[in-house]
């Protein structure tokens, strides 16, 4: 018996050692994968950095050559203009002198002929020659400019430009191994992802951030946000699809952007919120996330396509945000809110099993107006619903008390109240109702 017990103990220890070895091997393999990913990140980022540097300096060379060629052409044209303008009066003076020389030659031949002519005609020839010589004014000579008065072109080239460019080029560009900002968190939203980032370099003072994203299968990143905030909701995200995100920053007073953060993958499993199509009185956008109250006389409540506003596993969730882009004429029946179920035949959400806010800021719970009131909904307003589930008593198929702690916010003010229902609600509909045209509501 003692021997068997000893064998069992040895077997147990052996099994534990085997399991420990397996765990150790898994941990080592995981660390190897981490090393491989780190090595790939270094190689990929180095390759991308080389490509960016080569392309940038190639573009600089082309631009500098173009600018130098343009400057050279401008200076050569300036030389041509000065040359033409300076030579023109000299050409005119030359023509005048050449004409004078030709006239003098003719006069000399005529004078020599008169002097050497026959005695009978000599008197007349000499008289004509003398009159012609007096008419020509042989003592009048054209003015010829001296060399000191004539332009002498030269090129003035300052060698300090080369030194200046050399110093600027030697300081142009840097290679950073660590970006000053990194992605911090991804939060799933219906049809979107809330992306948060943070500054990781204490010495870096950011002025603006730049967020880009792409589908994992796409070829290039595209800008989705540029601004001073450190979070942004990226909409029009397909559910259950991986997206890559990256962020960079621009330092205070600087024009160039910092290196990109390490790209990270985010996704959402939540389907986007959509309004129900086909209700007369409302026109929808192509994605059905924008509803416009048109000029139809028909009125009623426009509900969501499905109860997509639901409690998460954390028991805390935020209702859709209504961004009012345009505003029509208000009416006391106008409403924005959530409800347990769709009910046709009503012209407002101010009814049982619904909570809502009217366009004048009044808050209604199960059709009853609260004493607390929020600011009126105006152009550019944003209304948010936050709900935390608080269960009272037992919840079963036969029903039971069910409490939702609701927070409605509008224009930096909020009201908090408890909404008690007689049934469990894992998900809720949202809806809106407007009596007059012009209201345009974006839900996300």
Tokens of 270: 């939540």
Residue 2 within any structural domain of the chain: no
Contact criterion met (CB below 8 Å) for 142 and 99:
no
250: domain CATH number is: 2.60.40.10
326: domain CATH number is: 2.60.120.920
Same domain, 255 and 138: no
Domain carrying residue 44: 15-171
Say how many Å lie between the first and final Cα of the chain, rounded.
Answer: 72
Residue ending a domain, choose from 153, 171, 189: 171
Bin 270: left if φ > 0, else alpha if -120 < ψ < 50, else beta: beta
Which residues pair with residue 414 across a beta bridge?
409
Residue 394 within any structural domain of the chain: yes
Residue ending a domain, choose from 208, 241, 268: 268
Same domain, 67 and 205: no
Same domain, 161 and 196: no
Residue 274 within any structural domain of the chain: no
Same domain, 256 and 295: no
Same domain, 244 and 299: no
111's enclosing H/E stretch is: helix 2-115
Phi, psi (deg, nearest 5) at residue 46: -65, -45
Same domain, 323 and 404: yes
Residues 6+ apart with CB under 8 A from 262: 41, 179, 182, 183, 246
Phi, psi (deg, nearest 5) at residue 275: -80, 155
Residue 305 within any structural domain of the chain: yes
Residue 277 within any structural domain of the chain: no
Same domain, 104 and 244: no
Q: For residues 229 and 238, what is the distance between their CA atoms, to the nearest angstrom?
A: 24
Same domain, 121 and 139: yes
pLDDT tens digits, 11-46: 888 999 999 999 999 999 999 998 998 888 888 888
How far is residue 108 from each of residues 88, 112, 118, measured CA to CA in Å? 30, 6, 18
Contact criterion met (CB below 8 Å) for 114 and 123:
no
Q: For residues 444 and 434, what is the distance between their CA atoms, to the nearest angstrom?
A: 19
Same domain, 261 and 287: no
Residue ending a domain, choose from 147, 171, 195: 171
The more confident residue out of 125 and 429 is 429
Mean of all residue pLDDT scores within the chain: 85
How far is residue 328 from each of residues 11, 118, 415, 434, measured CA to CA in Å? 80, 119, 25, 9
Same domain, 398 and 438: yes
In this model, does residue 238 exceed pLDDT 60? yes
Q: For residues 294 and 284, what is the distance between their CA atoms, to the nearest angstrom?
A: 10
pLDDT tens digits, 287-330: 898 899 898 888 889 999 999 887 643 333 344 445 555 667 88
Nearest to 328 by CA among 379, 384, 381: 379
SS (H, E, C) 188-213: EECCEEEEEEEECCCCCCEEEEEEEE
Same domain, 212 and 194: yes
pLDDT given for residue 378 in this prediction: 81
- The confidence band for 342, taking pLDDT boundaries of 50, 70 and 90, is very high
Which residues pair with residue 390 across a beta bridge?
403
Residue 236 within any structural domain of the chain: yes
Tokens of 360: 């004048």
Contact criterion met (CB below 8 Å) for 337 and 385:
yes
Phi, psi (deg, nearest 5) at residue 299: -135, 160
Same domain, 322 and 354: yes
Residue 273 within any structural domain of the chain: no
Q: How does strand 222-227 pair with strand 206-215?
A: antiparallel
Contact criterion met (CB below 8 Å) for 335 and 433:
yes
Q: For residues 211 and 234, what is the distance between their CA atoms, to the nearest angstrom?
A: 10
- Span 327-348, average pLDDT: 88
Q: For residues 13 and 5, what is the distance between their CA atoms, to the nearest angstrom?
A: 12
Percent of the chain whose pLDDT exceeds 70: 92
- Span 77-92, average pLDDT: 90
- Span 261-280, average pLDDT: 90
Return the DSSP state at 367: T
pLDDT tens digits, 44-54: 888 988 998 99
Residue 121 within any structural domain of the chain: yes
Domains contained in the chain, number: 3
């Amino acid at each position: 018996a003692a021997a068997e017990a000893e064998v069992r103990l040895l077997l147990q220890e052996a099994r534990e050692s085997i399991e420990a070895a397996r765990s150790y091997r898994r941990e080592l393999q995981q660390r190897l994968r981490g090393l491989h990913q780190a090595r790939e990140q270094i190689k990929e980022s180095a390759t991308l950095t080389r490509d960016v540097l080569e392309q940038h300096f190639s573009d600089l060379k082309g631009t500098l050559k173009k600018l130098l060629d343009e400057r050279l052409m401008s200076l050569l044209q300036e030389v041509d203009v000065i040359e033409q303008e300076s030579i023109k009066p000299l050409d005119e003076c030359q023509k005048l002198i050449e004409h004078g020389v030709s006239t003098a030659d003719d006069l000399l031949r005529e004078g020599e002929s008169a002097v050497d002519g026959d005695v009978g005609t000599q008197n007349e020839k000499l008289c004509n020659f003398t009159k012609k010589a007096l008419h020509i004014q042989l003592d009048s000579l054209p003015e010829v400019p001296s060399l000191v008065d004539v332009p002498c072109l030269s090129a003035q080239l300052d060698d300090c430009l080369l030194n200046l460019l050399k110093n600027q080029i030697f300081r142009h560009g840097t290679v950073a191994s660590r970006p000053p900002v990194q992605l911090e968190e991804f939060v799933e939203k219906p049809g979107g992802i809330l992306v948060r980032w943070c500054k990781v370099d204490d010495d870096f003072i950011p002025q603006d951030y730049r967020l880009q994203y792409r589908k994992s299968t796409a070829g290039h990143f595209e800008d989705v946000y540029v601004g001073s905030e450190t979070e942004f909701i990226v909409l029009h995200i397909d559910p259950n699809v991986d997206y890559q995100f990256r962020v960079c920053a621009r330092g205070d007073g600087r024009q160039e952007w910092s290196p990109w953060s390490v790209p990270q993958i985010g996704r959402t499993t939540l389907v986007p919120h959509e309004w129900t199509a086909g209700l007369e009185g409302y026109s929808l956008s192509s994605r059905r996330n924008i509803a416009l109250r048109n000029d139809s006389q028909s009125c009623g409540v426009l509900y969501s396509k499905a109860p997509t506003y639901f409690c998460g596993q954390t028991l805390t969730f935020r209702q859709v945000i209504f961004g009012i882009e345009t505003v029509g004429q208000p009416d006391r029946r106008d409403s924005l809110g959530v409800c347990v179920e769709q009910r046709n035949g009503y012209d407002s959400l101010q009814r049982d099993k619904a909570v809502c806010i009217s366009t004048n800021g009044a808050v209604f719970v199960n059709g009853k107006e609260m004493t607390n009131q929020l600011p009126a909904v105006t152009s550019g307003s944003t209304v948010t619903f936050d709900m935390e589930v608080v269960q009272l008593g037992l919840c079963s198929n036969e029903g039971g008390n069910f409490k939702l702690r609701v927070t409605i916010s509008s224009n930096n003010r909020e009201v908090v109240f408890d909404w008690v229902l007689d049934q469990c609600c894992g998900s809720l509909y949202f809806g809106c109702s407007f009596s007059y045209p012009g209201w345009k509501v974006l839900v996300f």
